[in-house]
Amino acid sequence: MTPLRHAADRARIVRTPDGAELRTHIRGPERAPVAAVLAHGWMQASDTWRLQAARLASAGDDAVRTVRWDGRGHGGSTPGTRPIANAALGDDLLRVLQDCAPEGPVVLAGHSMGGRAIMALAAAHPELFGERVAGVLLVATAAGRLETTGPGHTVGARMAGGARLAAMRSLRRVPAAVDRLRALLPPRSAAYRAAVRRVAFGAAADPVRVRECAELIHGTPTEVAAGFYETLAAEDLSGGLAALREVPVRILAGGRDRLIGRGGTRALARALPHARLRVLPGRGHMLPLEAPEAVGDELAEMCRAAARRPGGD
C-alpha cells in the first residue's frame, strides 16, 4: 500500500456563482479514508477549528483530511452579491464539499452558524446524507428561531429581542461609521475581552482563547455581522431536518451558552431524537476554543466510525 502523504495547510479559493470567493484550508493526507468539513460560527472564521483540524490531520493511521473554510464575508472570504440567508450558507457548503472533498465519506461539523449551514444543506440536498455524508457534529447551535420577538416568549424577552433586532438594522445602515468607532476599542483591551468572555465563554475559559475569539469578532465587518444576525435570528430551519435522521448525529452544547440557551439545545435534541446529546457543564458558546479536547474527541470518534462503515476504505 502506498503510504499516506501528510502536508501542511493548503489554501484553496472556492468561487460561487454570485462572485463570492470562499477561502478554504485543507490539511491532512490526500488519500485519507475520511474527510472532515468544518464550518464556523457567526463573526468567527475557519481558525475557530484549527486545533481540531491539526489533531485530526496528524492522527497517524487514523489521520483525516480536514477542510475548514471561511463563510462568505468572514475571515478571508468575500461576501458576494447574493442576499444573506441560511440557504446561501448551505449552497456555499455544498460548493466547498464538491470542490475540496469530492469523493469518499465525509463528516460535517458545524459550530453555531456553521451548524445551520449543515441544516440548510440537509434541507436542500437530502440525497447527500447517508451516501456522501456519513456523520454530523452540531456544536452550540439550534434549528429554530434564535430571536425572542415571537409568540411563546415573555413580554420582557420580546422587548429585548425587538431592541436587538432594531439595533442590528441600525448598524447595517451606517456600517463604515460603526467600523470606525469599533476601531477605538481594540480586542486587546480588557473591556473588550471581558465582554466577549461574558457573552461567549464560561467563567474558567483560557484568556488566550478569549482573546482569539475577540480578534475574530473584531475582524468581522459590521455590515456582515449585522446582516447575518438578522437572517440567523429570524429563520426557522427545524422543518428541514429529515435528512439528518438518516445519519449519525451528535449534539454538543455548553451548559452556560448564553447565545443558544438550553431551550435551543433541547428543541434540537427533540427534533433529532436519535442524536447523542452531550452538555459540557460550565462551558459557554465558543466550544471549539473553550473545550477543544472535548470537541476533538467527538469529531475523531465520528471520523473513525465513518471510516469503518461498509464501503469505507
Taking only Cα atoms into account, the Rg of the chain, rounded to an integer number of angstroms, comes to 19
What does the pLDDT read at residue 290? 98
Q: Where are the strands (E) in 85-194, listed by range?
A: 106-111, 133-139
Q: Which residues contact 261 (CB under 8 A, 6 or more apart)?
A: none
**Side chain identity at residue 264, one-letter code:** G
For the segment 18-44, what is each residue's pLDDT rounded down to a tens digit?
A: 999 999 999 998 889 999 999 999 999
pLDDT tens, position by position, for the chain (313 residues)?
333 444 578 999 999 999 999 999 999 988 899 999 999 999 999 999 999 999 999 888 788 999 999 999 999 999 999 988 889 999 999 999 999 999 999 999 999 999 999 999 999 999 999 989 999 999 999 998 876 555 555 555 555 566 666 666 666 777 677 778 788 788 889 999 999 999 999 999 999 999 999 999 999 998 888 888 877 777 899 999 999 999 999 999 999 999 898 989 999 999 999 999 999 999 999 999 999 999 999 999 999 999 987 654 4
- Amino acid at residue number 144: G
pTM reported for the whole predicted model? 0.91
Residue appearing with cell numbers 489554501: 11
The predicted pLDDT at position 171 comes to 65
Q: What are the cell numbers at 152?
A: 411563546
* Residue 168 C-alpha from the chain's centroid: 21
| Residue ranges with strand state E in the chain | 10-15, 21-27, 35-39, 65-69, 106-111, 133-139, 249-254, 276-280
**25, β-bridge pairs:** 11, 68
Q: Which of 100, 93, 102, 80 is nearest to 17 (CA)?
A: 80
